[in-house]
Amino acid sequence: MKVLLVWPEFPDTYWSFRHALKFEGRQAAFPPLGLLTVAAMLPPEWEPRLVDMNVETLWPDDIEWADIVFVSAMIVQNESLESVVAQCRNMGKRVVVGGPYVSTSSERLPDADHIFIGEAESTLPEFINDLELGIARKIYKADDRPSLASTPVPDFSLVDMDRYSAMNIQYSRGCPFNCEFCDIIEIYGRVPRTKSNSQMLAELDALKATGWRGLVFIVDDNFIGNKKNVRLFMPDLIEWSRANGDPFSYITEASVNLAEDDALLAQMEEAGFRRVFLGIETPVEESLKEAQKGQNTRRDLLDSIHKIQSYGMEVMAGFIVGFDSDPDDIFDRQMQFIRESGIPLAMVGLLTALPDTQLWRRLEKEGRLLNVSTGNNTDCSINFIPRMDTSRLVEGYKSILKNIYSPREYYRRALDCLGRFHSNRLEPRQVNIRRDLRSFFRVVLDLGIRDHSRLEFWRYFLSLLRHHTRDFAHGMTLAAMGYHFRRVTEKYCG
């Protein structure tokens, strides 16, 4: 059986990092881990092939080669997904669709032969057996949330690693919190499940064996959701890293209560964690309570951010405007908070009601739901009736973006962030001199010569040389990312 695994195209958003990746000579941030994991679950006699449409074109010959096509997608990929499904069906191919999009969008299922809702560890083997018997069903829905003990090492052999900026692995699924707008807890539940230490080390061994060196994204929506297991895992990760010459540095996502655990922060720093994404959302306590994000009300958010930064980890964070409880000055308060936080990669979005979330159900009951979300909370679209006047909300949102992604504000935060790292911090670098020099000159050419904000860049550049020599490479990476944010802001905000 020849299996074509297709990852649809992402639109150009803040999250794509497309304009920053060009400096590195890469085409996408990381490969489709879900499809690599599915590939590893297929019978050994099946022949898989991966087409990631974010790094290569899906040609008719690719589809013609296949006996069956597996497609996975997030909500933001829905247009590309529909196109892929239609193209495959028109060519007479059997199409299987799964992933987060169909798992929470049952009212908008694509015209596929087979749909997988939920996690596939139990349903995929059932489907394969049914397919061999000729009795495969239209819908396969996971009745429970499976243990990750049976989840295999992803098939990294399907990936052309030169196309990606980072590789990715998964440690856990689920989050213990109850944020109203979040679809993660709807898909993966509120009881975090983790892989065993031996599973994780096997995945790291497999990744190292491919020749990959550099950044690894642990894609958990809350890496510390199961703190007990994380604390048991960290010593093994540190030991493995030392024994293997520190081949990787890590980024992940976590809840802000990470700041309460100095021992865990120290272990993460020692293991090579260099960036963590936090869901800050808003500095307004009433809005946090409305969103059922009480975990962010029990601590000073700025102090928490600065605490994590002091352990050598850059904080990247999500922010939201559009809550019913947002005050009139919410836009100024968000800009002020982001400035004081020293968070360069501040991802601000409009509140959106994702399908099947608590927020979706509440707004539907209140008669305020307008349409299905695009999945892109940064494109200035709103799919519900907000309490604030819609035009004022959108214009206020645009004012935040124009402010925080302006070169002066962005470079200021980047320098503030670097200044909060302690003096003996070591930046793990998997050096490739030719690639690094090529990236450096691309950044200097585009931002220091061609760009209309080149004077701001050179002020930033000189500050890096004078005050942050040890973190110079990191600082140049932040400059490239700031350029990406600015380009996307110009697209959405004019």
Does residue 411 lie in a domain region? Answer: no
> Is residue 429 scored above 60 in pLDDT?
no
- Cβ atoms within 10 Å of 205's Cβ, excluding its own: 12
Are 35 and 121 members of one domain?
Answer: yes
Last residue of a domain, one of 404, 421, 449: 404
CB burial class (10 A; 0-12, 13-18, 19+) of residue 57? exposed
Position 376 confidence tier, pLDDT thresholds 50, 70, 90: confident
| Within-domain flag for 415 | no
Give the length of the chain: 494
Q: What is the pLDDT of residue 423?
A: 63
Torsional class of 166: left (φ above 0), alpha (ψ -120 to 50), beta (otherwise): beta
pLDDT at site 366: 97
Q: Are residues 360 and 455 in the same domain?
A: no
Place of tokens 């214009």: 395
Residues 159/27, Cβ–Cβ less than 8 Å? no
Which of the four pLDDT bands, split at 50, 70 and 90, describes residue 192? very high
Chain segment 221-255, per-residue pLDDT in tens: 999 999 999 999 999 999 999 999 999 999 999 99
Please indicate, yes or no, whether residues 251 and 325 belong to a single structural domain of this protein. Answer: yes
- Give domain status of residue 351, yes or no: yes
Structure token digits, residue 379: 């494109």
Note the pLDDT of residue 427.
Answer: 56
156 falls within a domain: no
Residues 360 and 226 in one domain: yes
CA gap 81, 91 in Å, rounded: 16
Q: Using an 8 Å Cβ cutoff, are 267 and 261 in contact? A: no
CA dihedral (18, 440, 161, 246) positive or negative:
negative
- % of the chain surpassing 70 pLDDT: 98
Q: How many CA atoms lie within 13 A of 82 on its CB side?
A: 7
State the total domains in the chain.
3
Output the CA torsion 460→461→467→468 (10° steps): 110
Q: Are 353 and 181 in contact (CB under 8 A)?
A: yes
Same domain, 443 and 392: no
Instruction: State the Cα–Cα distance between residues 406 and 404, nearest whole angstrom.
Output: 6
Residue 88 lies in a domain: yes
Q: How far is CA 342 from the centre of its chain?
A: 20
CATH number of the CATH domain containing 374: 3.20.20.70
Q: By the 8 A CB rule, do 52 and 32 touch? A: yes
Asked which of 386, 404, 422 is the last residue of a domain, the reply is: 404
Q: Is residue 245 part of a domain?
A: yes
Verify that 42 and 108 share a domain, yes or no: yes
Q: Indicate the residue among 141, 174, 193 that finishes a domain.
A: 141
Mean per-residue pLDDT over the chain, rounded: 95
Q: Could you tell me if 97 and 242 lie in one domain? A: no
CA-based diameter of the chain, in Å?
69
The pLDDT score that the predictor gives to residue 428 is 54
Q: Residue 159: its pLDDT value, please?
A: 97
Give the confidence band of 432 by pLDDT, cuts at 50, 70, 90: confident
pLDDT at 436: 86
Q: Confirm whether 102 is domain-assigned.
A: yes
Whether 135 and 170 map to the same domain: the answer is no
**How do residues 124-154 score in pLDDT, each as one tens digit?**
999 999 999 999 999 999 988 999 999 999 9
Q: Are 105 and 43 in contact (CB under 8 A)?
A: no
Between CA 37 and CA 170 the distance in angstroms is 10
Residue 49 belongs to domain with CATH number: 3.40.50.280
Do residues 177 and 211 share a domain? Answer: yes
The domain containing residue 16 runs over which residues? 2-141
Contact 13, 379 (CB under 8 A): yes
343 and 214 within one domain: yes
> What is the end-to-end Cα distance of the chain in Å, rounded?
49
Judge whether 218 and 170 are in contact, CB under 8 Å: yes
Is 327 in the same domain as 179? yes
Q: Please list, in sequence order, all residues whose beta carbon lies within 8 angstroms of the beta carbon of residue 406, skipping any fewer than 6 positions away.
A: 486
Evaluate whether residue 410 is within a structural domain: no
